[in-house]
Amino acid sequence: MITFSSFKSLVAGAGVALVLTGCGYTSVDYDQFPGSANTDERVNGRAMTRAQEKERGGIFGSNGLNIFGGEQQQQGGGSGIGVNSFLWRATLDTLSFMPLNSADPFGGVIITDWYTPAETQNERFKLTAYILGTALRSDAIKVSVFRQVNVGPNQWQDAVVEDGTVTALEDLILTRARQLRIDSANAE
């Protein structure tokens, strides 16, 4: 019989394996991912506009599949990743020293588990990163940092995060994203 703790360990191990598998590639064409400035969908050598994508239609043509008859209404949304792929990868790279709790590429949310630095065993940190758009801009990334200090055996109390920590992390992520974008452009 599988206990909850062994199941939790199995899920955590699978998550780590997935993250490490994704980190093993050295040559990735980031332009192929949705949300990047250049896509494989091109018309006359230029990236397709949203109007051209709509004209192209889906698997069932431009009008879709209408099984109930009547007029079909177009709704927004879609199944593509709604975040910038360079910011996504840069955030994973920057936070790779911390254990990953969850990562949602469609919603653009990365949550780490608690991390205790080797230098300071009496405090721990947890981060949540939000990628808010498809553009590679400073307002497309938001990081929340949570800090706790040890006040007794297995007792943690919330503590203040130093000023500038969030800004410094966001700057690191943006710098890494720009580096990935430059590397991608040079690879072409």
Residue ranges per domain, the chain? 30-37+82-187
H-state helical runs in the chain: 4-23, 50-56, 85-94, 165-187
pTM over the 0.75 mark: no
pLDDT for the residue 40: 43
Mean pLDDT, all residues of the chain: 74
Segment 104-120 mean pLDDT = 93
Q: Which of 137, 127, 134 is nearest to 106 (CA)?
A: 134
Question: What is the number of other CB atoms lying within 10 angstroms of the CB of residue 37?
Answer: 16
30-37+82-187 belongs to CATH 3.30.530 = yes
Q: How does pLDDT run across 37-73, given as a tens digit for each residue?
A: 444 444 444 555 555 555 555 545 555 555 555 554 4
Q: Which amino acid is at 160?
A: V
pLDDT for the residue 68: 54
H-state helical runs in 79-164: 85-94
Q: Is the pLDDT of residue 160 over 90?
A: yes
Least confident span in 23-37, 42-56, 136-150: 23-37
